[in-house]
Each structure stands twice: as structure tokens, then as C-alpha cells.
Amino acid sequence: MTYRLTIIVPVYNEEDNLLRVEKELLSYLKIATVPTKILFVNDGSNDKSQELIEQICERNKDFYFISLSKNKGLSVAIKAGFDHLDTELVGYIDSDLQTSPSDFNLLLEHIDEFDLVTGVRANRKDSFVKKMSSTIANGIRRTFTHDGMDDTGCPLKVIKSSYAKKIPMFKGLHRFLPAMILLQDGKIKQIPIQHFPRIAGEAKYGLWNRLLGPLMDCFAYLWMKKKYINYEIEKSNNE
């Protein structure tokens, strides 16, 4: 099969979620609007996640994995996924399944016209503190990036791989993916999607890395924006 979309699933100590992830992604593959494969990126888990991932990939032909030697964080896991792409499109979903794979089809409806389509978590099923800190962090990022996005941290996105591979990743950049597409003169769009409470496993982000950490990342983004190289070749005889 020639795949068009790779869905990256970063995993860090999600042994209690992975069988449910398998079930949900298998259900999605039956209704996916483009040929799709799944790429687990094990970010140095120290539970049974890797063992489960290998079992899942062994029994499902459209499932693949890479495993990092050490835990490096979400941005590194996403970067590793980008580096191993061989499809036209790349999607991203968290392994906590607080978003639904079925909503990839909503994003894919717009990907021909746009270069990144991201979800906006409607009616979020999170605690008051988590929702408020996320709202504040998103407001701070909009002030710095002017990307117009209401929920840059939403863990459900589809990106054209030609743009994803040009993103110079740094830690925390997963929160700035729309802005990094704009730096490439790409077009972005946000679409409301479903959101669910976490059923199993533990959240990997607390108040510090949900609010204060992103504020520090904004200054790294401004440095990146100032130094970023972007060009378009108008004419060439190098064929």
C-alpha cells in the first residue's frame, strides 16, 4: 500500500493506555479518508510501553515504531517522527486519547488548501487549573507569535510533511508548530474537535511546564524567528 498520511503517536510511560490506543486507531484506519499508517515514538519509557508497542506492531500491518534510547521530551519525540517520514502528510495525536483519531478526517478536509490544520479542543474535559493555565499560556503565545491560534497545544494536527521537515525543532517547539509553518509562508487553519477526560496514565505536564515553561519558550521562538532562514528559488538551470 502507498500511504499518504503518517500519524505520529509519542509515548512515555503509557502502558495503561496503549491497548485502548490500538483499538481506537484500528477503528480509525477503517474510516480514514486517505491511506494511513501509525508510527509510535517511544520516548524512553521505563514501564512496559515498549513491549506493548512491539506486540501491537507485530499483529497490525499498518503500525510501526521507533524507540529513543532515553527520555528526551515531547518535542524531541515529534522531531524524531518528522525525521522518519516517508509520506506526503503527517498527523500527530497524544497517546492519552483525550482527542479522537476520528477527528483527523475533519482536519484532512482542509489540508489540500492549507499547510497545517490543527484542532481546537471544544468543551475541554480538564480541571479548572489546567484549563486556566492553558488559556493564559495560549494568550501569551499569541502575543509573541501573532499566529491567531486559540489552542496551539492541541494534540491533534495534520501537516504537510514538506513543511514539517523544515521546522528547526527545539524543546518546547511542539507548542509553536502553527507559528513555525507561518515562518515558512505556509497557511494554517484551526477546526473545533472533540475532547475527553484522561482515563488512564498520568499527565506529563504540571503548572510549571504548562505555563511558566512556555513563557520562556516564547523568547526562544523570538530568537528563532529573527534568525530563521526562508527563501524561494525564482529561477534555476540546475536540473
Structural domain span for residue 104: 5-127+151-201
209 falls within a domain? no
Q: For residue 19, what is the domain's CATH number?
A: 3.90.550.10
216 falls within a domain? no
146 falls within a domain? no
The grid coordinates of residue 5 equal: 498520511
The grid coordinates of residue 15 equal: 502502558
228 falls within a domain? no
Give the CA radius of gyration of the chain. 17
210 falls within a domain? no
Query: For position 222, what pLDDT does the model report?
Result: 73
234 falls within a domain? no
Query: For position 87, what pLDDT does the model report?
Result: 98
Buried b (16+ CB within 10 A) or exposed e, 188-217: bbbbebbbeeeeebeebeeeebbbebbeeb
As a whole number of angstroms, the distance between CA 171 and CA 194 comes to 27
Q: Which amino acid is at 161?
A: S
CA geometry: angle 150, 21, 3, nearest 5 deg:
80
The grid coordinates of residue 174 equal: 511542539
Query: For position 168, what pLDDT does the model report?
Result: 80
Encode pLDDT of 52-85 as tens digits: 999 999 999 999 999 999 999 998 999 999 999 9
**C-alpha distances in angstroms, 205 versus 24, 95, 146, 210, 211?**
24, 14, 24, 6, 10
Taking 50 as the pLDDT cut, the residues of the chain under it are: none
Q: Structural domain tally of the chain?
A: 1
C-beta neighbour count of 234 within 10 angstroms = 5
108 falls within a domain? yes
54 falls within a domain? yes
